[in-house]
Chain A
Amino acid sequence: MKELTLEIVTPSKVSFRGMVKSITVPGTEGSFQVLFNHAPIISSLDIGVVKIVDTEGNEKKYSCSGGTVEVLKNQILLLAESFESKDEIDVDRAKDALNRAKKRLSRKNEEEVDLTRAEASLQRAVNRLKLTGNAKFM
């Protein structure tokens, strides 16, 4: 059985616990896939899409807004600030966040805007909307 134990933990709950065939995570140095017998690794994650292939070979996508992943002895621990499947994403809220971030960024010359924070929230919103197929709003 070439399967890995995966545990995904967010501040509000344990989002996922079970066996998987592989997982693809948005690492800071680039997206990478973890398969059976992957070398021990600790990596920080960017905002992006997490792809999980379950034991039956079905692929499922989730949005993740940054975190850390640890792989050791075929056990994966993913600590994510937020982790949502397509159905869990609140599209309206993401759209609002997108517009707010855009507005803030457009005003960056006029007043003091926290650029890093505005950009991060823009990225998070874009990531969520992309996953739900609402890219046309961007």
Chain B
Amino acid sequence: MATLRDIKRRIVGVKNTQQITKAMKMVAAARLRKAQENMINARPYSRKISEMLTSLLKVETHFNHPLLEEREVKRIALVVVTSDRGLCGGFNMNAIKTALDLMQDEYLTYLRDGNLDLYCIGKKANDFFKQKEYEIRESHLGVFGSDLNYEFAASFINSVRERFENGEIDKVVIVFNEFRSVVQQTIITKQLLPVLPDKSDTLEEENLNVEYIYEPDKTKIIGTLIPKYLNAQMWHALLESYAAELGARMTAMDMATENAKEMIRSLQLTYNKERQAAITTEILEIVGGANALKEG
């Protein structure tokens, strides 16, 4: 049976852990606010650019751009977005598992023939796939944090885009966590290339009949818009994933703190019971001893 001192030591240990989880929760909460702000600030840009592209593509229906063209898929690229750090519940595993399911199921033939390029963003995906001995084409670590920037998103997707344009890869799919709420993340699997413009009809029809002046011309404008649209999508995915990571960490650390509290409570109860029992035994011994003396 555990002695009083052992229980005391355990209580101290759990309390220390609780302090750490509590602090981590606070830090995640503070960062989450900033990340959410960034996400909201980025929204107008991606919305406007997608609106502009969609309306242009509606006007110009007979239009073929290499980035829009579906072609026979010989080689596929899969981008997995995870975090660099753990302690955020199922956040990373969910993304990794979704990617793995894709690789083992839909893209199995590509994987088997070595026609699948794996791009890992975040240390966790890199570590996992490296350990399982998958071939990783590129890994980007240390992307997230306060220095998460648009330039990274743009330069990363540009290099992928160049490979697509050169015909090295024929399809690009991204897997990332979307921020639903602080406690909820959803895994999104989305095709980045060839570009699938937003099909939703949120546009005002009247604007379609306006005779615009196009400088230089429609096709060239669409040609410059598509890469920008792609950049915005990649940027959006990174922002979502970062906010989702912080949300997941906050929830996980909150739960850990709660569990520690419960554990301390039950340990304290055992401690008190033990202490009470020890005192009772002691009193009994003293009384017994005194009685023995009296009788003698």
Contacts and interface: CB of A to CB of B under 8 A. Distances in A.
Interface of A: 9-14, 27-29, 39-44, 66-68, 70, 72, 77, 79, 81, 117
A9 B49 CA distance: 10
Taking each of B45, B56, B210, B216, which has the highest tally of chain A beta carbons within 10 Å of its own beta carbon? B45
Nearest to A42: B212
Contact of B210 (A12, A43, A72): A72
B215 interface: yes
Given A11-B231, A68-B228, A79-B52, A42 B214 contact: yes
Contact of B44 (A14, A27, A67, A81): A14
B241 to A, nearest CB: 16
B235 interface: yes
A29 B216 CA distance: 6
B215 A27 contact: yes
19 contacts: A11-B231, A11-B232, A11-B235, A12-B42, A40-B210, A41-B212, A41-B214, A42-B52, A42-B56, A42-B221, A43-B216, A44-B225, A68-B49, A68-B221, A68-B224, A72-B212, A79-B45, A79-B228, A117-B158
Nearest to A77: B48
A126 B23 CA distance: 45
Contacts of B150: 11-12, 81
B38 interface: yes
A64 B31 CA distance: 29
B237 to A, nearest CB: 13
**Secondary structure type dominating chain B contacts:** helix
Nearest to B232: A11
Size range of the chain B interface in the assembly: 20 to 34
The 8 residue pairs across chains A and B that have the minimum distance between CB atoms: A43-B215, A13-B41, A41-B213, A11-B150, A44-B224, A40-B212, A9-B45, A29-B215
A32 to B, nearest CB: 8
B207 interface: yes
A23 to B, nearest CB: 15
B265 interface: no
A45 to B, nearest CB: 9
Contact of B213 (A13, A39, A67, A117): A39
Contacts of B212: 40-42, 70, 72
Contacts of A13: 41-42
B6 interface: no
Contacts of B49: 68, 79
A81 B231 CA distance: 10
Contact of B215 (A12, A28, A66): A28
